[in-house]
Amino acid sequence: MNQFIDILVNILEHRDFYTRGHTERGVFYARSIGRKLGLAEKELEHLRIGGMIHDIGKIGIPDVILLKPYRLTPEEFEIMKLHVKIGYEMLKGLDVPKGAFDILLYHQEKYDGTGYPHGAKGEDIPLLARIYTIADAFEAMTARRIYKRAKSWEEAFEELERLAGVHFDPKLVPYAIEALSGLEMVPTVIPQIDQEIEKIRWSFQYIDGTGAIKGDIFLPSLRAFIEQRESFCLTIFDIKNLSKINFEKGWEEGNEVLRRLVWAINLECCSMHDIRDVILMLMKEDVIDIESPVIFRVGGDEFAVIAPYIPPPDKPLRVKDTMKSMGVDVDFLQMQFPESFKTYEEALKLIFSFTRGKLIKELLI
């Protein structure tokens, strides 16, 4: 059984960056809490097995939802919730200990009964599942995601206390905080994944037909750059006459214009680097390692470039001149952090004003 479960976990880790390390850290936290509670070794082992299998049903969730770097829509979340049932169906024929199975079935339940899939409440949720829910939530709070910063451990402890009796068993939270406070390091082994395979998968998912990165990743990437508190440049390009080109010359010509603009931006601003490497860094939240400008398609005829340095001011002008020579009218707005904006909200206001609100509305739908 253990070998089969290891294979399934390995499959899931190959599909989802976030799973790598998440499961291992969750198990480590849960067992630490279990020891503080004085659980027997058998129960600690059930915590380990349950933690390993709790998200296994995500194997059955479509990539477009599982790999989405931004928050899920309500409709997408309903599909994501199916991972509990899928996991149960996958493993119900195996000799999995009941305590471990309880973690799979109940790890999304909340103490006040507002969780899923059963809406179980209070001590109707099995003890090991109540323990793992705290460990799993603590791991999520303190882990970096592309759409949110990691909370400090102190902030996470405050969150656990605030949600005691709501999401978490209020009797267990003090033991959990005491156990986790005593930890000095979290051992994690990151599996070795073929980087070229990863590039192919993520490029298919997130490179637009123009050659730019899809807009889904722009807003969380912008927030991540701002949170670094390091200087960077943000430039928005907008094609002013694309509708006219589409009307007079057809959609294919319009699409070719979009590809030419991306080519011009790459040539002048982005050093023609391998965009697939950039996508891998963004998905692993390693924005600090990005050394070249990154281009995103953020609207029908708008593109954004985030540069981890302040480029020469003539770069976007050369893009504009190149496109003008092809009969394409391009406007741009260049901003610098922190001179032009100091917060994520201030950046959105500037973009909103430049694009007359069109771009932001498209991104936030």
**Closest among 313, 312, 296 to 351, alpha carbons compared:** 296
Q: Once rounded to an integer, what is the mean pLDDT over residues 253-266?
A: 92
> Lowest-confidence range among 20-24, 212-216, 318-322?
20-24
All structural domains of the chain, each given as residue ranges with its CATH number in brackets, are 2-181 (1.10.3210.10), 197-364 (3.30.70.270)
User: Which residues touch 161 (CB under 8 Å, ≥6 apart)?
Assistant: 173, 177
pLDDT in tens, 56-115: 999 999 888 887 766 788 999 999 999 999 999 999 988 899 999 999 999 999 999 999
> Lowest-confidence range among 5-19, 37-51, 71-85, 141-155?
5-19
- Report the C-alpha gap between 162 and 154 in whole angstroms: 12
Instruction: Please check whether residue 11 is in contact with residue 23, taking contact to mean a CB–CB distance below 8 angstroms.
Output: no
Q: Once rounded to an integer, what is the mean pLDDT over residues 153-180?
A: 97
Q: Above pLDDT 90, what percent of the chain?
A: 56
Instruction: Please check whether residue 129 is in contact with residue 167, taking contact to mean a CB–CB distance below 8 angstroms.
Output: no
pLDDT value for 229: 83
Instruction: Please check whether residue 225 is in contact with residue 287, taking contact to mean a CB–CB distance below 8 angstroms.
Output: yes
pLDDT in tens, 33-48: 999 999 999 999 999 9
The letter for the amino acid at 195 is Q
CA diameter of the chain: 76
What's the gap between Cα 279 and its chain centre? 12
pLDDT value for 365: 47
Is pTM beyond 0.85? Reply is no
pLDDT value for 292: 75
Which residue has 């899928």 as its token pair?
86
Q: Once rounded to an integer, what is the mean pLDDT over residues 216-224?
A: 83
Q: Once rounded to an integer, what is the mean pLDDT over residues 182-195?
A: 62
Instruction: Please check whether residue 148 is in contact with residue 137, taking contact to mean a CB–CB distance below 8 angstroms.
Output: no
SS3 92: coil
